[in-house]
């Protein structure tokens, strides 16, 4: 297996270049990247819904719970179509869901830290985590457009970092090709 990976070193190089390109484009055009991610999400949910409906209908005689697949599929189709027809609204709703999650998790962490403060040491770290989560969530609510752009920038930076790792790996694997051929 390792020999096959070494001989296909160029695949990692291509993956690295594509990841770097995606990351740079995400940094240059964050609004377009966010819109593209939302549209891909909509297409995925729509297709998944279609397949769920097909699975539900085709297994209705063998599967007692076939209606759950049908219902889930119809719901996914509706969400997918709404996402594709109104991608900007979907992006904002997703951002508000993330913001709500951050605030709720932060509050729960603070409550937990207060409740267990006598049983553990350094509960203040959990409080700091909770406060940080609440602050991030509130910032997402207050500045949704800037938060969406920042999220895309983080994805872009991650893609560039991942791409660099793949390029380095590709060249290291390429250096091993000669060594493998000597022993084959």
- For 4-32, the pLDDT digits (tens) are 677 788 888 998 999 899 889 889 988 88
- For 114-160, the pLDDT digits (tens) are 887 777 777 788 889 889 989 988 988 998 888 878 888 888 898 89
Binned at pLDDT 50, 70 and 90, residue 183 comes out as: low
Domain boundaries, the chain: 9-176
pTM for the whole structure: 0.59
d(CA 36, CA 46): 15
- CA dist 56 to 25, 79, 81, 145, Å? 40, 18, 20, 39
82's CB contacts (< 8 A; 6+ apart) are 42, 89, 90
Name the token pair of 44: 């995925």
């Amino acid at each position: 297996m390792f020999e096959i990976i070494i001989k296909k070193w160029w695949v990692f190089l291509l993956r690295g270049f594509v990841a770097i390109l995606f990351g740079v484009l995400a940094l240059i055009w964050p609004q377009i990247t966010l819109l593209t991610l939302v549209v891909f999400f909509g297409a995925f949910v729509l297709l998944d819904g279609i397949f769920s409906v097909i699975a539900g209908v085709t297994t209705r005689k063998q599967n007692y719970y076939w209606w759950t697949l049908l219902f889930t599929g119809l719901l996914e189709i509706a969400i997918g179509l709404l996402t594709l027809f109104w991608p900007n609204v979907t992006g904002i709703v997703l951002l508000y869901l993330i913001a709500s999650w951050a605030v709720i998790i932060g509050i729960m962490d603070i409550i937990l830290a207060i409740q267990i403060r006598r049983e553990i040491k350094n509960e203040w770290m959990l409080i700091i985590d909770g406060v940080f989560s609440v602050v991030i969530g509130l910032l997402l609510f207050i500045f949704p457009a800037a938060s969406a752009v920042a999220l895309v920038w983080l994805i872009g930076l991650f893609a560039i970092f991942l791409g660099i790792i793949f390029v380095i790996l590709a060249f290291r694997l390429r250096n091993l090709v000669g060594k493998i051929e000597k022993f084959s």
